[in-house]
Amino acid sequence: MNDNEYDVIVVGAGCAGPAAAKKAAELGLKVLILEKSQVPGEKNVSGTCLNGAALLEPDLNYIVECPVERTIREMRTYHINSDRTTVFHEIPSKGILLLSVRRDHLDSWHTEEARKAGAEVKLSTTVVDIIEEDDYIKGVVTDSGEKFYGKVIIDAAGVNSIVGRKAGLIPKRKGQNMILYVTVAVKLGEEVINERFGDCIEYYLSPGIQYKTWPWIFPKKDTVTVGTGGYMDENLINDEFPNVNQYMENFLNLPVVKKKLEGGEIASWGLHLEYDEAIERRVRNGLILTGEAGGFVIPFLGEGMPEAFFTGIYAAKAAAEAIEAGDHSEAKLSERYEELIGENFFMQAFRHIATVNKESILTKTDEEITQMMQQVIIGGGFISNAIHTKWLKGVEEENFELIQEAYDFLELIQPYAAVDPDFENLYNERKSK
């Protein structure tokens, strides 16, 4: 193989890219990973809490060794309207529920793991085009005009990936099924965060602080990340809300939030666009789309990073088998890729819950959801919204089937609640290494 020829070229070093590059290198392939930023993770914005239930999957166990800001063990939800404020204090597991991270630290660590496994890493390198021959994607072109050739290209370049767009797989969304959210990191100092938040993430729901989403405050070591935004339809932006920053302003001005962030200083601001729908076709001859490029993000459940890790790894496995067989066709690549995704319980279950959750959120006003969530008896977050919507509808319509479905939902999420104590053990074991 020439210097610019590889078995696998991975575009993007966010969550999916390093996972794919590491796995492909471990499988003995010659791998190149290209990243546009100077430091991996510095062009990424996300919720930054890794789900323990996902990391328990053997494929993802190693991620636990990443730089962790804080172990999250509890969850609080505030439902606020003009009449009343209710607070749910949930402890879904007795152990660690989530790991709070910084993307710059996580993605840089992960890229280094890929390098250690044998992948070649090129930073500050933007991919601007693909090389296509005889209906096969054969390589990529960088901003400096360099060409790199690969038997399989793994696209992990995010929601607006040029690779996926040029290959005709990432469609223009025209404002449909999109979420736009802003984040601010507020520096408070470690002791203040220990006092005011501890190891607890918080969700908020109140008219005027979000539009069909679920604002949050996630504690890191010495800062907290505050996020909110909205579903992009014709009502997101209007005279009262000239842009999504207005939702953030209102959120930060809620008396309860103001008090919690008192004395803090905004250290940084971020913005992210998400697309809430799996892409119909995510494989072409010689190309696999992973992570957000492949539509593997679930905004209506606040999930995305585990899906990116999983699909990155699965793409590498599918690529390795295709290369071994000397067949890089769409049929060969997608058969294995889709099979691995279909077998992943975490991905399937979360996608299912998110669909119901989305349906209930989009058919109610934020006022109605707040009111409903103030009256529920279990939990207060994303998942219980999906359960309660079904439950209440069933009661209202005297439809036992819907109530049964709500029960089935509860059953379905048991693996999520069953993090205890396995994840804590895994965490301690990996961290002592």
Residues near another protein (CB under 8 A): 36-38, 41-46, 48, 101-104, 106-107, 123-128, 142-144, 159-160, 162, 172-175, 178, 180, 182-186, 220, 223, 225, 232, 236-237, 243-245, 248-249, 252, 258, 261-273
Q: Contact 92/416 with Cβ under 8 angstroms?
A: yes
Instruction: Compute the chain's Rg from CA coordinates.
Output: 22
CB atoms within 10 A of CB 407: 14
- Map residue 349 onto helix, strand or coil: helix
At 51, the amino acid letter reads N
Please give the DSSP secondary-structure letter assigned to residue 211: B
Closer residue to another protein, CB minimum distance, 125 or 370: 125
Report how far residue 374's alpha carbon sits from residue 86's, in angstroms, rounded to the nearest whole number: 6
Closer residue to another protein, CB minimum distance, 274 or 424: 274
Q: For residue 41, which of 113, 115, 121, 107 has the smallest C-alpha distance?
A: 107
Q: Provide the minimum distance between the beta carbon of 187 and another protein in the complex, in angstroms, as a whole number.
A: 9
Closer residue to another protein, CB minimum distance, 93 or 225: 225
E strands present in 143-291: 147-155, 178-187, 200-205, 216-219, 223-231, 265-275, 283-284, 287-289
Q: Provide the minimum distance between the beta carbon of 124 and another protein in the complex, in angstroms, as a whole number.
A: 3
Closer residue to another protein, CB minimum distance, 165 or 393: 165
Which residues are registered as beta bridge partners of 142?
127
Q: For residue 199, which of 54, 96, 123, 305 has the smallest C-alpha distance?
A: 96
Q: Provide the minimum distance between the beta carbon of 183 and another protein in the complex, in angstroms, as a whole number.
A: 8
Q: Provide the minimum distance between the beta carbon of 375 and another protein in the complex, in angstroms, as a whole number.
A: 32
Closer residue to another protein, CB minimum distance, 271 or 362: 271
φ, ψ for residue 153, nearest 5 deg: -100, 130
Closer residue to another protein, CB minimum distance, 236 or 386: 236
Cis peptide preceding 421, ω within 30 of 0: yes
Q: Provide the minimum distance between the beta carbon of 113 and another protein in the complex, in angstroms, as a whole number.
A: 17
Report how far residue 140's alpha carbon sits from residue 150's, in angstroms, rounded to the nearest whole number: 8
Q: Are strands 98-100 and 70-72 parallel, antiparallel or unpaired?
A: antiparallel
Closer residue to another protein, CB minimum distance, 211 or 337: 211
Q: Provide the minimum distance between the beta carbon of 223 and another protein in the complex, in angstroms, as a whole number.
A: 6
Closer residue to another protein, CB minimum distance, 61 or 243: 243
Which residues are registered as beta bridge partners of 283?
288
Q: Are strands 49-51 and 98-100 parallel, antiparallel or unpaired?
A: antiparallel
Q: Provide the minimum distance between the beta carbon of 323 and another protein in the complex, in angstroms, as a whole number.
A: 27
Q: Provide the minimum distance between the beta carbon of 255 and another protein in the complex, in angstroms, as a whole number.
A: 13
Q: Provide the minimum distance between the beta carbon of 316 and another protein in the complex, in angstroms, as a whole number.
A: 23
Q: Contact 230/244 with Cβ under 8 angstroms?
A: yes
Please give the DSSP secondary-structure letter assigned to residue 171: -
Q: Contact 5/230 with Cβ under 8 angstroms?
A: no
Closer residue to another protein, CB minimum distance, 244 or 419: 244
3-state helix, strand, coil split of the chain in percent (to 5) is: 40, 25, 35
Residue 14 in tokens: 């966010």
Closer residue to another protein, CB minimum distance, 162 or 319: 162
- Map residue 285 onto helix, strand or coil: coil
Q: Provide the minimum distance between the beta carbon of 206 and another protein in the complex, in angstroms, as a whole number.
A: 17
